[in-house]
Chains A and B, each alone.
Chain A
Amino acid sequence: MINVLKIVVACFVFCTGIYAHEGHNHQHPSTTTTTTQNNGQTTNHDNTLNNSQDHSTHDHSTHSHQGHDLAAHTDCGHDSHSEFKADETAFHHISDLNVYSIGPWNFPLPCILYSKDQGWSFFSSSKFDIDNHHHGSGNKAVDRYALNMGRVMRIIDASFPMGEVSVQGFTTAETEVDGKKKEINYVCANGQKYELEKTSSVDGGLFGGGFTSFYDFSITKNVFAMLLVIGFMSILFLGMASAYRRKPSTAPTGSQKLFEPIILFLQDEVAKPFIGAKYERFMPLLLAIFFFILSLNLFGQIPFFGGANVTGNLAVTMVLAIIVFIVVNLNGNKHYWEHILWMPGIPAWVKTLITPIEILGVFIKPVTLMLRLFANITAGHIVIIIFISLIFIFGKAGAEPGAAYGASVASVLLALFISAIELLVAFIQAYVFTLLTASYIGAATEEHHHPEKNHH
């Protein structure tokens, strides 16, 4: 229900963002320096310096796709006023970063980087000399790593010097590789542009990622939030456990009072009805899933605290979904596999139709788990940020203060309303994930005494 609202609002806001974008001469102020657009000539992903420089002289309209520029080059060092982009702000805030941004301050986090060429590198992201005024980009490159919009990227060019090198800025260009548009980041240093590479991701190129030359095992914003919150929860639960051990038959006190009803609710309303007699074996997993998701959902909702979008990151939900997938299928009994591979009680030709669907279902279940949590939490974060951004959209980033005042009243009220809904969503999504996990485990471990009766 709520998500539909979110999605509609997100669509509206996307359109608003597009409108704002179109109305401003195709300016792409993505990074510390603004862009001046040139042609849309397709540049190959591998081309770096020479190509970029060549294109800078091309005409606007030589290769425009749908009347718009596909490639945008930054003239590094040329600093014009940057215009506000709601979508960009939102995407920046929900991203995983190598700095922890609270308000205008960027707190450095430890970087643990591995590349095949250079091996391991350990240093604090403060070494990048983070610029507090521009989304946390680094003024320095360290060992061919640069901090672009708070994210560590690697300079591919092997001729780039190791050690600390000061950089002038970052820029972005669009190219088309195999019919797909691809975004390439460049860093400007020593008067030249060097191509940057993002960290490896396992989406298989579906969402523009893929394996690259380096792996970022840093304590990023999300990892930091995860360690902080889960560490806190662990200490809390260990304290509770010791309290139960010390005085087993006294009335609950402190955190016990808070968590006992939740634990009992999960046990009596989720685990027992959905899993059945063997529920006790799966309680640690269900509780871990529930409190992991809930605490991180709620932590992400704290205003002015970085808004760590941990459960709204596909990597985190993927890990949860994969663990659920493994647990469900490892515990699947004979009946479970029988129902998937050769459904009893139906004609053979129907079986041949059902079996592929059932096999697909085994994978679709964790995938929907993964996507549901990711999409809900991400959409919630985006909607709140976009509502706040409406102030700047209507005020045209300070150009129309009257509109900004008017919009601020409405958008703060709307953001407050959405925040309240998001608190509910934080609980509902944790509950839904746990409930669905329990029901999948229950379906896999259920004992069918008369399976032929169920399938007529």
Chain B
Amino acid sequence: MNLLFIISWIEFSPIKPEVGLLFWSTVVFSIFWLVIGKLAFKPIIKALNDRSNTIQESLDAANRAKEEMKNLQSENERIMSEAREEKMRIIKEAKDAANSIVNDAKDKAKEEAQRITINAKNEIENAKMAALVDVKNQVGTMATDIAEKIIRRNLANDASHQEYVKKLVDEVKMN
């Protein structure tokens, strides 16, 4: 018995495409493809793609939000640093202003003090002068009186002495 004999003898029917099975598989597959494809596969694919789009969009939105947050944060930081700089600047300015005021005040005070000192010196000088004049006058008067008394005693009648004394007094006065 050879191989071919067996193969032809046995009903090897799967290799014979029977009309009925062709018909039924066409019907079943066409329904599965066209009807189920339209009613199930298309919506499923659409839903899956929609969902993946949604997920992608959500991820993008999250990334964008993150980016924005980052921007916001850097903005805040910038503002903060600016504020800090501003603060420093203001403080520095204030310090400068204060310093200058103090210095001005110091200068003014010095000037004032100097002025007062000068005034005082002048007044003192004036007073001294006045006092000196006064003292001179008084001394002159006293000296004159003394001298008068002395001279009255011995030079009452000596006009030339009197005149000399007068001249001396004048010389003193001029000093």
Contact = CB atoms under 8 A, between A and B. Distances in A.
Given A240-B40, A288-B36, A215 B20 contact: yes
Given A226-B25, A237-B44, A312-B14, 11 more contacts: A95-B12, A200-B18, A201-B19, A220-B21, A223-B24, A227-B24, A244-B44, A245-B43, A245-B47, A267-B48, A288-B33
A141 B20 CA distance: 20
Contact of B29 (A17, A26, A264, A292): A292
A183 B15 CA distance: 15
Interface stretch (A86-94, A343-351, A405-413, A415-423): A86-94
A237 B22 contact: no
A377 B23 CA distance: 21
Contacts of B15: 203, 207, 314, 374
Nearest to A149: B11
Interface in A206-234: 207-209, 215-220, 222-223, 226-227, 230, 233-234
Contacts of B42: 283-284
Interface of B: prevailing SS: helix
Interface string A184-220: 0000000000000011111100011100000111111
B21 A263 contact: no
B47 A248 contact: yes
Contacts of B120: none
A305 B13 CA distance: 20
B19 A18 contact: no
Which 8 pairs across A and B sit closest by C-beta, in order of nearness? Answer: A284-B37, A244-B47, A209-B16, A237-B40, A315-B17, A201-B16, A315-B21, A288-B33
Contacts of B41: 237, 241, 283-284, 287-288
Contact size class for B?
35 or more
B10 A91 contact: yes
A335 interface: no
Interface of B: 1-6, 8-26, 28-34, 36-45, 47-48, 50-51, 54
5 contacts: A112-B20, A209-B17, A238-B39, A319-B25, A374-B14
Contacts of B14: 94-96, 309, 312-314, 374, 378
Given A234-B36, A241-B44, A280-B45, A70 B5 contact: yes
Contacts of B5: 68, 70, 174, 181
A202 B22 CA distance: 9
A57 interface: no
A13 to B, nearest CB: 11
Contacts of A28: 9
Contacts of A264: 48
A79 interface: no
Interface of A: 14-15, 17-18, 21-22, 26, 28, 30, 66, 68, 70, 87-88, 91-92, 94-96, 112, 149, 151, 172, 174, 181-183, 198-203, 207-209, 215-220, 222-223, 226-227, 230, 233-234, 237-238, 240-241, 244-245, 248-249, 260, 263-264, 267, 280, 283-285, 287-289, 291-292, 309, 312-316, 318-320, 323, 374, 378
A11 B155 CA distance: 186
Given A203-B15, A207-B12, A216-B20, A238 B25 contact: no
B5 to A, nearest CB: 7
Nearest to B33: A288
Given A87-B10, A91-B10, A292-B29, A237 B17 contact: no
Nearest to A19: B1
Given A244-B44, A263-B48, A267-B45, A18 B6 contact: yes
A379 to B, nearest CB: 11
Contact of A230 (B19, B28, B44): B28
A244 B29 contact: no
Contacts of B1: 18, 21-22, 26, 68
Nearest to A173: B9
A328 B14 CA distance: 26
Contacts of B47: 241, 244-245, 248
A230 B32 contact: yes
B103 to A, nearest CB: 74
Given A199-B20, A227-B28, A18 B2 contact: yes
A233 B32 contact: yes
A183 B11 contact: yes
B8 A241 contact: no
B41 to A, nearest CB: 4
Nearest to B21: A315
A222 B6 contact: no
B19 A216 contact: yes
A346 to B, nearest CB: 38
Given A91-B11, A172-B9, A248-B47, A323 B33 contact: yes
A222 B45 contact: no
Contacts of A316: 21, 25
A35 B37 CA distance: 52
A96 B29 CA distance: 18
Nearest to B18: A201
Nearest to A320: B29
A218 B22 CA distance: 11
A91 B13 CA distance: 8
B101 to A, nearest CB: 70
B33 A88 contact: no
